[in-house]
Structure 1
Amino acid sequence: MLAPVAIGQQLSMLKQNKFIKVYLDLVLTSTYVCSQLKDYDSGNVIQRERLDYEKISDASLLLPKIKKILEIINIDFYNVVEPKFIFDNNYYIFVPDSLYIKGKEKTFLKFNVGLESDDYITTDSIEKLNIYNIYLPYVNINNYLIEKFKKLEFYHYNTVLINKIVSVSNSDSCHCFIENTDLKILIIENGEIFYFNSFSYKTLDDILYYTLLIINDQSFKNKNIPINIHAGKKIDEIKVKFNNFIKNISVIKNNNFAQVL
């Protein structure tokens, strides 16, 4: 007798949620998708969910992950006022302001990505570093979200990640971002991006190898640069392993939710 009442109460609460205005943030990568709901008036986080999965190489298989996370948070029972979509892929290139020419995005991107004649290309700005990020968005996912929410603000993951770092400080520094099986290494020198790249890894030894490879490159002059390792787990293990090989290192624990939220 109690179960039907509980279900009815739950449905009633969900229906009431339709009147709650929210910001929706979605983050999608090849190994996880996560969502964040924030109250529109207060800005307080209402709900966070994350769904991890085996690495996906076929981009067409990512849309079902977006649909699944939206189902998990019962998004249809909220009034989404500002939807934001942040996604990660390797279809991008950084171009300095001094070289960027509006309308010539395909000319730049073709050096990094095999392009089709009808590919849609767009750009983000990393203003503090005077750089444009030219990239291919996931058009099918964008279209789905626009159809569902009537509008959409979207960014490349690397844009948001780097903007977040330089908003705190753009002094000389090296940042290693560890997330599932992916590693990103960012080096800022003299207020510019000296190096940025992504790697796949299996062990902490792989991460250490890639980090040492980059910071020991002969073209990298500042050998005393602070190294910041951003990770959500194995914090103590990372400290022990890296301290044996690298000086001036800090391990920064994130909330294991998403580097960009």
Structure 2
Amino acid sequence: MEQTISKQNKLSYKLSILIRQDGLSFCVSQQNPAKVISFSTEEFSDKKTPEELLHFIENYIEYSLAEYEIEDVLAIYGNQLYSFVPRPIFKEEHLTDYLKYSVKILKTDVASFDELSNQQINNVYIPYVNINNYLFENFGAFTYKHASTLLTEFALQNSTDKTKVYVNFQNSSFDVCVVSKANLLLCNSFIHETAEDFLYYLLFTFEQLSLSTAETPVFLMGNIEKESDYYKLLYKYIKEVIFVERIKNIETSTMNSESLHTHHLLLSSICE
């Protein structure tokens, strides 16, 4: 379920943080109407530990948020430590059991879960406890979710009778979500080092679900552009490759067009 810790003081702005091992993104926004006030991103050439990520978050909050009064905080975890579980067989007391066969779990890890909207599915995952503790100590109430939950809900909201493949691409990994007729068929994440890695895993997904590369469209978001080797190779094998359109009901004049596409998933959370 969506995780929330209570707080009494209500302030003015919303802080959204996308937390990945290979990068961090920070967005300060206001609502009614939704508007991006400040946006910052930090990309890493190597994967950072939760302790190292917390260090960057602490520095950002200390030196970049002094002029803002934060009312709401949303932390989005973009790690691969997750698994989707059908709700009819889900039991909250067995969270780590759903992860232990596919995820390396440490003794200090605490599992959590999101409930997917309009689906009988829960997303079980490992948030970073040290970051959650820090955010609670500094802001009180805050909400946290997994990035794959946001990707899946976005894909389902745009689902039609035609099967669609949504790809959220990042520096060292990418998430794939396949939907059809308002049903989730698959959501998974893969590590990549080359364009060939990317193509292999995506075509493997097509093969496993018996999808046609000539008829099934792939919708792209994240850190991928038409000029990249990844896109060029993908376009050789997939007939219909489409970049997800920018979110129209958010004022984003402080961001360039590339950032709008790259950080689509984070921006989609602003109006929640």
Shorter-normalised TM-score: what interval?
A: 0.7 to 0.9
**Corresponding residue for residue 43 of structure 2:** 52
State TM-score, norm by structure 2.
0.78
- 5+ long unaligned stretches in structure 1: 1-18
> Which of 256, 262, 269 is residue 256 of structure 1 equivalent to?
262
What secondary structure, in the 3-state scheme, does the structure 2 residue paired with 1:234 have?
coil
Q: For 2:200, which of 197, 206, 209 is the aligned residue?
A: 209
RMSD of aligned alpha carbons:
2.5
Match of 1:149 in 2: 139
Q: CA deviation at 1:48?
A: 0.7
Uncovered stretches (5+) of structure 2, i.e. residues with no partner: 1-9, 246-259, 268-272
CA offsets per residue over residues 167-196 of structure 1, 9 Å max, x none?
A: 222652112221222211222245433222
In 1, Cα distance between the equivalents of 2:180 and 2:135? 38
1:61 to 2:67 alignment: no
Q: 1:157 to 1:112 in 2, by over 3 A?
A: same
Bigger relative contact order, structure 1 or 2 (CA pairs below 8 A, ≥6 apart): 2
Matched, 1:221 2:227: no
Aligned length: 240
Pick aligned residue for 2:85 from 88, 95, 103: 95
Counterpart Cα distance in 2 of 1:193 and 1:251: 20
Deviation, 1:229, is 2.6
Q: Does 1:241 align with 2:233?
A: yes
In 2 relative to 1, CA 234–38 (structure 1 residues): closer, same or farther, beyond 3 Å? closer
2:151 to 142, 155, 161: 161
Moved more, 142-151 or 238-247: 238-247
User: How far, CA to CA, are the matches of 2:244 and 2:31 in structure 1?
Assistant: 30
Q: How far apart in 1 are the matches of 2:119 and 2:50?
A: 30
From the superposition, tell whether residues 34 and 231 of structure 1 become closer, same or farther in structure 2 (CA, over 3 Å).
closer
Shift of the 129–221 alpha-carbon distance from structure 1 to 2, 3 Å rule, reads farther
- The Cα of 1:20 is off from its aligned counterpart by 7.5
Give 1:83's match in structure 2, choosing from 59, 73, 79. 73
Give the conservation status (yes or no) of the 8 Å contact 1:181–1:200.
yes
CA distance in 1, matches of 2:69, 2:92: 36
The answer to whether the aligner puts 1:24 opposite 2:15 as a matched pair is yes
Distance in 1, Cα, partners of 2:193 & 2:104: 27
User: SS in structure 2 opposite 1:70?
Assistant: helix
In 2, Cα distance between equivalents of 1:241 and 1:92: 28
Kept in 1: contact 2:83–2:123 (CA 8 A) = yes
TM-score (norm 1): 0.81
In structure 1, C-alpha distance between the alignment counterparts of 2:11 and 2:113, rounded to whole Å? 32
Letter in 2 for 1:197: N
Please, which moves more after superposition, 139-148 or 245-254? 245-254
Q: Counterparts of 1:98 and 1:34 in 2: how far apart (Å)? A: 35
What is the letter of the counterpart of residue 244 of structure 1?
A: K
The alpha-carbon distance between structure 1 residues 232 and 112, as it changes in their structure 2 partners (threshold 3 A), is closer
Identical pairs, percent: 21
Q: Name the counterpart of 2:5.
A: none
